[in-house]
Amino acid sequence: MKPQIITVEKHIMEHQQNHLTATGEFSWLLSGITLATRIIAAHVRRAGLLDILGETGDTNVQGELVQKLDVLANETIMTCLGDRDNVGIMVSEEDDEPRIIKEPDDRAKYIVLFDPLDGSSNIDSTVSIGTIFSILQRCPGVERGRVMDHILQPGHMQIAAGYVVYGSSTVMAYTTGDGVHMFTLDPNIGAFRLIRERVCIPVSGKTYSVNEAYSRQFSKGIQDYLSWAKSDGYGLRYVGSLVADFHRILMQGGVFFYPPTAKAPQGKLRLLYEANPLAMIATHAGGAASDGTQPILSKIPTALHERTPLIIGSKNEVERVLSFWS
């Protein structure tokens, strides 16, 4: 008997049958994301042949040098979602301001926030990179024109979140709050195929992921944690691409953290595009995510490009880092 081929679109439709109020709108939205990431994956594979490696010479709103593939990925997602009539607002880590596709209404009710190419500084060295996305619904009762009121919602209001990692294979993981499901892009059929349902992050894992180059800028508590972890046999695993580090931890267990430093006292990672969606995935896979004082999903955003400290991964390992946090 041949194994059944379940694509991400089929998987979503099957799950929608369990919800009497489902209309198929979310499937239409997610199909735009999968289309965009398939296109990005194709460009990543051929980047060295297409002259799309290296920097553009520009600086983005984050103060980071823009890579050519950053621009391509950003515009690909904007194009693929821009014709979805149920998308009202798109917010990219690369852009200064939100792009209002349609004034949010009963039809254009979705807001998509995304990091088009996480880890893009690693592109030229062919280290794994990825796309991270978060989906919100418009807030009812908000006055017309008050766009930021729709966008600045706490993470627990996300209706879906996911990521795609472009590595030795292209893998997508997403959640709508009913488990975390994982798919691999099959180049033979050009579609994401289900490989694991209801992924559970191990409750513990003896690896930690942090940029120790900044360890002298960490608090004494974090420095004490690093000393303890090494003495207890923990191993350092750090790629320098958040989506790649998180994917490994989701599969194998462990903890990733990016604490405040003298250079980045509020943390470095973006709350809306990175911390919130990955926190939703970690939480629904049985893990945890914190900023050191509260769960990431409880934080109320105050700015579009707000940054945050992040501790994320196996529940026991997050709690252990928090016990040293200061």
Q: Is the pLDDT of residue 240 over 80?
A: yes
Residue carrying structure tokens 């042949």: 49
Q: Is the pLDDT of residue 11 over 90?
A: no
pLDDT digits (tens, 9 = 90+) for 150-175: 999 999 999 999 999 999 899 999 99
Average pLDDT over residues 71-94: 93
Distance CA 235, CA 72 (A): 36
Average pLDDT over residues 83-99: 92
pTM for the predicted model, two decimal places: 0.93
Q: Is the pLDDT of residue 51 over 80?
A: no
Q: Is the pLDDT of residue 2 over 80?
A: no
Q: What is the DSSP string of 74-122?
A: HHHHHHHHHT-TTEEEEEETT-SS-EESS---SSS-EEEEEEEEETGGG
Joined together, the tokens standing for residue 194 give: 């289900």
Average pLDDT over residues 167-194: 94
Distance CA 120, CA 71 (A): 11
Please report the pLDDT score of residue 263 as a whole number: 87
Give the CA count within 13 Å in the CB-facing half-sphere of 21.
0
Please report the pLDDT score of residue 21 as a whole number: 47
Percent of the chain with pLDDT over 90: 68
Please report the pLDDT score of residue 68 as a whole number: 81
Architecture of the CATH domain 207-324: 3-Layer(aba) Sandwich (3.40)
The overall average pLDDT reported for the chain is: 89
Give per-residue burial for 75-114: e unless 16+ CB within 10 Å, then b.
ebbbebbeebebbbbbbbbbbeebeebeebeeebbbbbbb
Question: Which part of the chain is CATH 3.30.540.10?
Answer: 8-196
pLDDT digits (tens, 9 = 90+) for 254-302: 999 999 998 889 999 999 999 999 999 999 999 999 999 999 999 999 9
The residue ranking higher by pLDDT, 120 or 322, is: 322
Q: Is the dihedral of CA 318, 319, 324, 326 positive or negative?
A: positive
Q: How many CB atoms lie within 10 A of CB 178?
A: 11
Q: Is the pLDDT of residue 55 over 70?
A: no
Please report the pLDDT score of residue 1 as a whole number: 56
> Are the C-beta atoms of 311 and 323 separated by less than 8 Å?
no
Q: Is the pLDDT of residue 20 over 50?
A: no
Question: Which part of the chain is CATH 3.40.190.80?
Answer: 207-324
What is the 3-state composition of the chain as percent helix, strand, coil, each rounded to the nearest 5?
35, 25, 40
Report the phi/psi class of residue 264: left, alpha or beta, with left for phi > 0 and alpha for psi in -120 to 50: beta
- Which residues does residue 112 pair with via DSSP β-bridges, in sequence order? 90, 135
The residue ranking higher by pLDDT, 20 or 22, is: 22
The residue ranking higher by pLDDT, 127 or 144, is: 127
Q: Which of 165, 154, 120, 114 is nearest to 135 (CA)?
A: 114
Distance CA 241, CA 45 (A): 17
CATH of 8-196, one of 3.90.1150.10, 3.40.50.170, 3.30.540.10, 2.60.120.1440: 3.30.540.10
Q: Is the pLDDT of residue 113 over 50?
A: yes
Q: Which of 163, 155, 164 is nearest to 136 (CA)?
A: 155
Report the phi/psi class of residue 166: left, alpha or beta, with left for phi > 0 and alpha for psi in -120 to 50: beta
Please report the pLDDT score of residue 144 as a whole number: 72
